[in-house]
Amino acid sequence: MDIEQQTVVSTVGEKDDNFNGAPLSMGELGQSYVHIDPAAERKLRLKIDLAIVPMVSVMYLFCFIDRANLGNAKIAGMDKELRMKGYDYNVVITFFYISYILFEIPATMLCKYIGPGWFLPLTTILFGVASLGTAWVHTVPQASGVRFVLGVFEAGMMPGIAYYLSRWYRRAELAFRISLYVVMSPLAGAFGGLLAYAILRLDSFGNLREWRMLFAIEGLVTIVIGLLGLVLLTDRPETARWLTAEEKALAVERVRSERVGTTKVLEEINGARTLRGILNPITLSTATIFLLNNVTVQGLAFFLPTIVGTIYSGATVVELQLRTAPPYLVGAFFTVLFPGLSWRLDRRNMFFIICAPLTMVGYLMFLCSHEAKVRYAATFLVALSVFPFAPLANGQVSANVVSDTARSAAIGTNVMLGNIGGLVSGWSFLPWDGPDYRIGNGLNLGTSSTVLVLALGLFAWEQIEDLDWKHPDFEWRL
C-alpha cells in the first residue's frame, strides 16, 4: 500500500464496495492520522481525472447545448415559423427556468439517493429526449411545455456533477475539476454555434428542415452520450473496477481526511445536515453572488446571437452563428485558468473580486459606444470574466461544509439560486429595447457591481474571522 500510517496499520478487506465503516486510522473526532504518500496521490489523482472527468464533461457539454440552442434556432427562423411576437421568446425561456429552479434541490438530493453513477446518465438521456421533442413543436405553448420538461431533467445536472466530483477530490482540488466540465458552458456556446452552422448547411434531416434539424440531431447525440454514461461512469471510488484495492482505500482516505468530525465519507440523507448545508452563511452569500453572475451568463447564452446580429446587421445567418464562437472560446480559457490558480492558492473569493470589475468594464463599453468593434470586444471581456464563477462558486460552497449530505444540499442551493438569475436573464433583453439593449446592459452592469460589493464584504468577513485574539472585541480572561 502507498499509505504510511503513523499509528494503527489496517488492511483492506475482501469486500471492496463498501468503505463507509471505520477509516484506516482515525482519531476520536474523526480526524485522519494517516500520512498519504504524495507521489501515490498524484498518480491516483491523474487516474481519476482521466477516468471520470471526460465523460461528465461531454455530458454537460450537451446539457448546455440543448439549453442554449434556442438562441441559435431563433435566428435560424424558429421565431418566424412559430409566429412569435412581443414577449413570446422570453416566455419560452421562463418556462424552462421555472422547472429548473423548482427541481434543483430535489434533483440533487435524488442524485445522492440513487447514486450519481446512475442518475447523471439517466437524466442525460431524458433531457436528450426532451430536446429531440422540440423539433416537432408548432406553437409557442407547445415550445413552452417542452422547455419546461427540459428544465425538469436538466435541473440536477450541474449540481449533480459537482457533488459527484466531491466524492473523488479534496476541497482545494475541487474547483479546478469542476471547471473542467463547467468550461463546457462557453465551449458549448462556441461549439453550438459551429454545430448549428454545420447542421444548417444540410438540406434536411429526415423530414425536418432548418431550425428543427438543430433540436433533432443534437437531441439524438445527447441520448447516445447518456447511454455511454450508463456503461462508463463509476458511482464512487469503492465500486471502481479500474482501481486496485489499495487505490480504493487511498481514494477514500484522502477525501475522508478532510471531513473533521465524521467517520463516513457517504452517509444517509439527514434533515439536520441538509439544513446545515443550505443555511451555511458561506453557501448563502456565495449563492447570491452566483445568482447575480448568472443573470449575465445565461443572458449571454440566450441572447449573444441576437446581440451579435445587432452589431453586424448585414451578416448572413451562417456568419452570425460563426461570430458567436470566438467570445466563448476566450471565456473557456479563463474558466479553466482562474480555478486552476485557485487550486494552487486554495482561494476562490479573491477571483470573484478580480472578475467583477472586468464584467463592469465590458458593460460600460456596451452602454457608452455604438462602434461595432468596441461592442464586439466587450462580449470577449464579459465572457472571460463571468464563466469562471460557476466552478469557483460550487467549489467554495463545497469546501465550507463537512458532511456528504450537507455538501449535496449546499451545491444544490448554490445552483438553484444561480438559476433564479437565469430566470431574470430571460427578461433582461426585451424586444423593444434593441438594438442597444440599454436596460439589459444596464442590468448586467448593476449585477456585476453588486457582485464586487458582496465579494469584498465576504473577504472582509473572512479577514475578521481570521483575527482570532487580535479582534478588537476580544477580551483577555486571566
Q: What DSSP state is assigned to residue 240?
A: -
Residue 22 lies in a domain: no
Q: Bridge-partner residues for 436, per DSSP? A: none
At residue 331, φ and ψ (nearest 5 deg) are -60, -40
Q: Is 407 helix (H, G, I), strand (E, B) or coil?
A: helix
CA-closest candidate to residue 303, choices 439, 200, 182, 135? 439
Q: What is the pLDDT of residue 181?
A: 84
- DSSP character for 371? -
Three cell numbers written together for 360: 463592469
Give the C-alpha separation, 122 to 229, whole Å: 8
Q: What is the mean pLDDT of the segment spanning 29-49?
A: 76
Domain count, the chain: 1
CATH number of the domain residue 68 falls in: 1.20.1250.20
Contact 167, 266 (CB under 8 A): yes
DSSP assignment string, 283-317:
HHHHHHHHHHHHHHHHHHHHHHHHHHHHHSTTS-H
Asked whether the predicted pLDDT for residue 135 surpasses 90, the reply is yes
The answer to whether residue 467 sits within a structural domain is no
Q: Is there a contact between 411 and 274 (Cβ–Cβ < 8 Å)?
A: no
Structure confidence at residue 277 (pLDDT): 80
Question: Within a 10 A sphere around the Cβ of 466, how many other Cβ atoms?
Answer: 9
Is residue 474 in a domain?
Answer: no
Residue 20 lies in a domain: no
Residue among 125, 88, 79, 131 nearest 233 (CA): 125
Mean pLDDT of 192-219: 86
Share of the chain above pLDDT 70, in %: 85
The most distant pair of C-alpha atoms in the chain lies apart, rounded to whole Å, by 85
What's the length of the chain?
Answer: 478
Indicate whether 146 belongs to any domain: yes
Q: What are phi and psi of 288, to 5 degrees?
A: -65, -40
20 band by pLDDT with thresholds 50, 70 and 90: very low
Higher pLDDT, 21 or 45: 45
Query: Range of 380's domain?
Result: 37-462
Q: pLDDT band at residue 17, thresholds of 50, 70 and 90?
A: very low
What's the pLDDT at 216? 93
What is the band of 8 on the pLDDT scale with cuts at 50, 70, 90?
Answer: very low
The answer to whether residue 176 is domain-embedded is yes
Q: What is the pLDDT of residues 136-178, one digit of tens each?
A: 999 999 999 999 999 999 999 988 998 899 889 987 888 888 8
pLDDT-based confidence at residue 412 (cuts at 50, 70, 90):
confident
Domain for residue 11, yes or no?
no
pLDDT tens digits, 357-378:
999 999 999 899 888 788 889 9
- Whether residue 281 is contained in a domain is answered as yes
User: How far apart are alpha carbons 206 and 406 in whole angstroms?
Assistant: 48
The single-letter DSSP state of residue 12 is: P
